[in-house]
């Protein structure tokens, strides 16, 4: 359930063709429309499309039982699993685990995602342009300004070919770089330009705690007696108006193994389509603490995130906000008020 934010499109269709697909129409239906910047001092009126959420599945409630029946929501029987698990009758291999993580677990992985996961040798979207940046979060907390970052060119074997020589960047606040963070990679490093895992890049193993969590949560999608083996993870960071375009995660060797996708922070809308963009997707809410599994046939389905909710009423993060009250964690609080983090753990081989 991941690519870089603004996800990689796997079709060579023209923009006009994409506008006509069912998946693209759903993305446009739910996306956040920003008011254009005025070109003059003249007052302008912006008409925002009405956001119709009537067809969005909510796995945490049973208010719209008719909608759930029409779409084919089913409860999955998992005798050895201690949480409710839902699926979709027309999407075998898709599993939704609502409220899978406690508030304490959510806070822990939010802290790790901001403080530890962007640390080198893990690569981020900033690495090709600024080189390895150590202790970015701590620098942002101290409101430091980086004045010696250089464009590294072809950094450590990255297949992205830079056309410019190494050059220094102008001074940039660490807080600004933190807000520019869009993805980081754990374990085996993913090469976005080549769309494969580059085993030659330096990397650490996925943290033991995250491995343990992924193995436990993957069990509804695993055959009896088999165990999920986490080897890589992609962490996506969403700002207030970011989206993840429709895509298919197809770079792992064995699609029978699930992708374990953990949602943290602001509520979002997740779209699950079919094997082509012409298949109309199903929309559902994903909230902080929810986990999605995609295995088998579900791995072939287009999916994306067209919208996150960042206003206080719709974001549904009150329980998180109360956990980050100390002065030392003000930066985390400010960040998570209008952001979403998604951790996707994969078995590569």
**Known binding residues for Fe cation:** 247, 249, 303
Q: What does residue 300 show for φ and ψ, rounded to 5 degrees? A: -90, 0
Q: At what angle do helices 103-115 and 208-218 cross, to 10 degrees?
A: 130
CA distances to 1, 108, 336 from 209, rounded to whole Å, are 21, 10, 22
Helix and strand counts by DSSP (H, E) for the chain: 11, 17
| CA separation for the pair 130, 127 (Å, rounded) | 5
Question: How many CB atoms neighbour CB 200 within 10 A?
Answer: 10
Cα 330-236-249 angle, rounded to 5 deg: 165
| CA separation for the pair 279, 257 (Å, rounded) | 24
Length of the chain: 349
Residue found under tokens 């893990």: 122
**Are the CB atoms for 215 and 166 separated by under 8 Å?**
no
**Are the CB atoms for 83 and 273 separated by under 8 Å?**
no
Say if residue 134 is preceded by a cis peptide, omega within 30 of 0. no
Which residues fall within 8 angstroms of residue 241, CB to CB, at 6 or more apart?
A: 32, 34
Give residue 221's region: left, alpha or beta (phi > 0; psi -120 to 50): alpha
CA distances to 30, 120, 168, 172 from 132, rounded to whole Å, are 36, 6, 14, 15
| CA separation for the pair 277, 12 (Å, rounded) | 12
Of all helices (H) and strands (E), which one includes residue 18?
A: helix 15-20
* Residue set of the binding site: 247, 249, 303
């Amino acid at each position: 359930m991941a690519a870089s934010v603004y996800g990689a499109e796997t079709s060579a269709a023209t923009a006009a063709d994409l506008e006509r697909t069912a998946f693209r129409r759903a993305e446009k239906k739910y996306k956040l429309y920003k008011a254009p910047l005025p070109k003059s001092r003249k007052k302008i009126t912006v008409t925002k499309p009405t956001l119709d959420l009537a067809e969005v599945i909510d796995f945490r409630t049973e208010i719209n039982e008719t909608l759930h029946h029409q779409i084919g929501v089913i409860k999955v029987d998992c005798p050895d699993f201690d949480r409710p698990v839902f699926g979709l009758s027309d999407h075998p291999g898709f599993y939704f685990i609502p409220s899978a993580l406690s508030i304490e677990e959510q806070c822990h992985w939010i802290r790790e995602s901001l403080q530890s996961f962007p640390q080198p040798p893990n690569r981020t979207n900033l690495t090709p342009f600024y080189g390895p940046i150590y202790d970015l979060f701590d620098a942002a907390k101290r409101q430091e300004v980086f004045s010696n970052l250089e464009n590294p060119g072809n950094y450590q074997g990255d297949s992205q070919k830079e056309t410019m020589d190494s050059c220094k960047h102008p001074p940039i606040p660490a807080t600004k770089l933190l807000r520019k963070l869009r993805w980081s990679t754990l374990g085996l490093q993913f090469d976005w330009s080549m769309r494969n895992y580059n085993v030659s890049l330096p990397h650490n193993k996925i943290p033991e705690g995250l491995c343990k969590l992924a193995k436990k949560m993957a069990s509804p999608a695993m055959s009896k007696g088999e165990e999920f083996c986490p080897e890589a993870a992609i962490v996506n960071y969403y700002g207030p108006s970011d989206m993840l375009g429709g895509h298919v995660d197809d770079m792992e060797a064995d699609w029978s193994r699930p992708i374990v996708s953990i949602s943290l922070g602001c509520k979002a809308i997740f779209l699950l389509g079919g094997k082509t963009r012409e298949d109309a997707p199903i929309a559902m809410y994903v909230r902080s603490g929810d986990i999605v599994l995609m295995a088998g046939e579900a791995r072939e389905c287009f999916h994306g995130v067209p919208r996150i909710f960042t206003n206080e009423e719709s974001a549904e993060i009150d329980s998180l906000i109360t956990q980050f009250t100390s002065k030392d964690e003000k930066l985390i609080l400010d960040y998570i008020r209008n952001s979403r983090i998604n951790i996707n753990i994969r078995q590569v081989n």
